[in-house]
Chain A
Amino acid sequence: MTTVASGPAHTGYTCRYCRLPSDATGTYCPNCGAPVDVKATVSDSGWVEQPAVRDMAKIQFGQSYCQVEGTLVPSSDFALAPDDGVVFSHHTLLWVGPGTHLEPWSKGSFFNRSFAGMPLVLMRASGPGHVALSEDHPGEVVALPIPAGRGFLVREHSFLAATDNIDFTWLNSPVWLRVQKGNDTEYEYPIGPYIDHFNCGQSHGLLLLHCPGNLFVRDLAPGQSILIQPGSWVYSDTSVNFSLHAEYPASGGLRWGSFEYRTIWMRLTGPGRVAVRSIFEKPERHPGLVGSSGMTHQRW
């Protein structure tokens, strides 16, 4: 089991991306790989662009580290110390050193995982040895160190790897729609039927996500909300609330036409950190909406 010390020594520098104090003598944060020698790129509207992990940057965890290699589709190359381990889905395995120990790592019900379209069995790689993982979309590796007692909600299938001391479960999606299809009604899930929940109990952990496209992060104040495309949501603090909002553009009184042009947003309400990606899944059209998890409406 990976044991990570209770955080690095405070030396006066706190990474603006992972929010952890660290030694700022290097060119990147040792906890998340974000460069320390670049200015924050913040849009006028308040979104902070997550800088790509610098090529060949090493992210430390426990006695092990992860070296992120490449920039288009980065590979995460874990150098695992004895007794340290990482958990991942087998389809992300790129290569493995001959001495690295691989074993199945299972959590929860096979049936639920199968129903959710998630891998039935995760794999655990333990040291000493190397294992490298990558995904199949151009994008960025996002490293999220999780302090003890904290957690994140993450879009399903974004997970690349996590240290084996992180508790990994999933929750029913807080947002759903019920739509009419022929004589039947079906449920549709704008962010997928489940969301991943990563939580750290007694010790710190490291979570790695793969984000297609670019990633943008912002902090919402208590009660502050923002509308996003559901397909763009990547992760958020567990304190953030989710709901749906439908917007109908003005259509000259033709109410029937407004349904064709309706946009269904996801409203994120603070407090907490939220992250969106620039590549998102195309929203489905829902002409026969008959129910939802709770939705507000705006008719222009």
Chain B
Amino acid sequence: MDRLECQWCHAQNPADARSCEHCGAPLDKANLVSDSGWREAPRLRDMAKFQFSNSTCQVEGELVPVAEINLSPGDGVIFEHHTMLWKDESVPVGVYPLGGGLKRSLAGMPYVVTQAGGPGRIAFSRDAAGEIVTLLLHPSMEIDAREHAFLAASHSVRYSFERIKGLANILHGGSGMYLDRFVTSGEPGIVLLHGYGNVFERTLGAGEKILVEPGGFLYKDSSVTMQAVQLNVRTGLIRHGMYVAEMTGPGRVGIQSMYHHHASE
């Protein structure tokens, strides 16, 4: 039987599928890649549905999409509580075991990360126009995401946070003091991010660099290093130089086109 490979997550799908069963990306639309090499993240079709473990996620809406997750018994999701839009009353929620509460609090991140378990439905959304990016994590993968960009992750994903090293990176890197880190070990998992505006991804070769507005950074493979560098360009009467994030490969880098720092950040 013919199979169709998803160009976003590379999972195999039945030949007649319109959307990827593993990440929701449309399978009947060509990739949109700019001449400079940025690939537009696939816009999930309204009401597209995909599966993780024994649960399903349906993406609803296009301007500020909602991720509605139907959890099976034994499955769960982790999330920051402010992204929760609605849930079935019967869905239990609890605190995701996580160290470093004081550090998180000092860094302006939620003191606790919440987890919910099946059976039942729970839905998530964010506070500005944008798109949901589904990142399928194969076993033993690590990705880093801008803090607060994370909408939800499946229970098989281990969530932690990584302190950004270097004062210049903290002060000028545009991502705060910490990056969210998502790690899979034996099982695959899925991470849902909400990018403001449109989301673009580019794969950097080993040693390849790109300079990104710090507020535009959304996610990266943990193999990609991020360093705040100052451009020698004057931007005002007194202030000299502007900082950009220098991303160095190998690995994927995701950016968002609307990089305004919202009040929730």
Contacts and interface: CB of A to CB of B under 8 A. Distances in A.
For chain B, what secondary structure do more than half of its interface residues adopt (helix, strand, loop), or is it mixed? loop
A176 B34 CA distance: 44
Interface residues of B, number: 35
B169 interface: no
Interface stretch (B87-95, B115-123, B229-237): B229-237
Contact of A70 (B33, B40, B260): B40
B161 interface: no
Interface string B122-154: 000000011100000000000000000000000
Contact of A94 (B63, B131, B234, B255): B255
Nearest to A96: B211
B219 to A, nearest CB: 15
Contact of A110 (B131, B196, B237): B237
A295 interface: no
B107 interface: no
A75 B257 CA distance: 6
A55 interface: yes
Interface in B219-263: 231, 233-237, 242, 244, 255, 257-260
Contacts of B216: 94-95, 134
Given A77-B38, A90-B233, A72 B197 contact: yes
A120 interface: yes
A70 B260 CA distance: 17
A187 B35 CA distance: 48
Nearest to A130: B36
Given A121-B234, A138-B129, A73 B209 contact: no
A140 interface: no
A73 B197 contact: yes
A291 B63 CA distance: 42
B140 to A, nearest CB: 29
Q: Which of B43, B130, B233 has the most A CB atoms < 10 Å from its CB?
A: B233
Interface string B177-217: 00000000000000000001110100000000111110010
A13 to B, nearest CB: 24
B32 interface: yes
A130 B216 CA distance: 16
Contacts of A55: 32, 40
Nearest to B43: A71
Given A75-B198, A138-B63, A95 B129 contact: no
Given A95-B210, A98-B210, A72 B235 contact: no
Interface string A212-251: 0000000000000000000000000000000000000000
B246 to A, nearest CB: 9
Contacts of B234: 104, 121
Contacts of B233: 90, 102-104, 123
Interface residues of A, number: 36
Given A95-B255, A130-B36, A71 B198 contact: yes
Interface string A239-270: 00000000000000000000000000000000
Q: Which of B197, B244, B259 has the most A CB atoms < 10 Å from its CB?
A: B197
A102 B231 contact: yes
B209 A98 contact: yes
Interface string B67-95: 00000000000000000000000000000
Contact of A135 (B33, B34, B40, B258): B258
Interface string B1-40: 0000000000000000000000000000000111110101
B213 A69 contact: no
Interface in A61-79: 67, 69-75, 77, 79
Contact of B210 (A69, A97, A119, A123): A97
Given A69-B38, A77-B34, A135-B258, 9 more contacts: A55-B32, A55-B40, A56-B33, A73-B198, A77-B36, A94-B216, A120-B236, A123-B233, A138-B129
20 contacts: A56-B33, A67-B35, A69-B32, A69-B40, A70-B197, A70-B257, A72-B257, A73-B198, A79-B35, A90-B235, A93-B242, A94-B216, A94-B257, A95-B213, A98-B210, A121-B235, A136-B258, A136-B259, A136-B260, A138-B258
Interface of A: 55-56, 58, 67, 69-75, 77, 79, 90, 93-98, 102-104, 110, 114, 119-121, 123, 130, 132, 134-138
